[in-house]
Amino acid sequence: MKAAFLCEFATIRNALAQMAIIYLIIGVVVGIAMESSVAMVACISAMTPFLVVFTLSGYDDANGWERFRACLPISRSAIVIGRYVIVLLSSIAMAAFAVVVALALAQLAPILPLAEGAAEGLIAQSDPLTLISSALAGTSIILLVTALILPFVLRFGMTKAMRIVPVVIVLLFVVAVPLIGDVFADLASTGWMADFVAFANDARNLLVVMVAIAIAVLIVYTISCAAAARLYRCKEL
């Protein structure tokens, strides 16, 4: 698996450096425009999983790289695990980068030529726990979606997967939204939602909630990896 991970990292390394520069620019623009460090961190964190998946899948389809890699002494299961690990670690790294950028921007806000509201917003939302919670939220949501689409991308390739994935996501929403709506309606009737909102208003409590959600997403992500490995073993290259 180490060889598969290093292979994936070598493929994406230059792209990650470019992403960091792009994210820095986008993050500063979003943070200043929305007068929110939290929005900036969530935006950067949410972009990474998809971009890494699309970049690596693009390399798979280019110049017969996927077939060549299959000739290397690396099992197909290891290839899939390497892909999932590099997506996860890249997402964590970029989320941490987003938090650092937000903290640095908040420190520089008083001396930068910003509108008064922008500077105040960046400084007011510079609490590290809140920023980490924002990073976890943005990363977790998109990693959950990534867990749904990545098995199809690995099994069918990016082009074919993009024809299948929208149908799958729509069907999941059709089934899931009514069920989730009923659950939240029941919880709201008991007053649980109001208690939860009051609990999450504290930065430490919010971080606990986000960590719990992140753990749940990681469980789904692991299940997705196992399913993708089984599907990829059946793929003809």
How far apart, in whole angstroms, are the C-alpha atoms of residue 143 and residue 116?
Answer: 35
Question: Residue 163 half-sphere exposure, CB side, CA atoms within 13 Å?
Answer: 5
Q: Domain span at residue 58?
A: 2-233
pLDDT at position 191 is: 61
pLDDT at position 96 is: 92
Residue 1 carries which DSSP code? -
Domain count, the chain: 1
Burial of 200: CB neighbours in 10 Å, binned 0-12, 13-18, 19+: middle
Check if the beta carbon of residue 98 is closer than 8 Å to that of residue 27: yes
- Tens digit of pLDDT for each residue in 18-41? 888 888 888 888 877 777 788 888
> Can you give the pTM of this predicted structure?
0.82
37-61 vs 76-108: helix crossing angle, rounded to 10: 150
| Range name among 103-112, 140-149, 171-180 with the lowest pLDDT average | 171-180
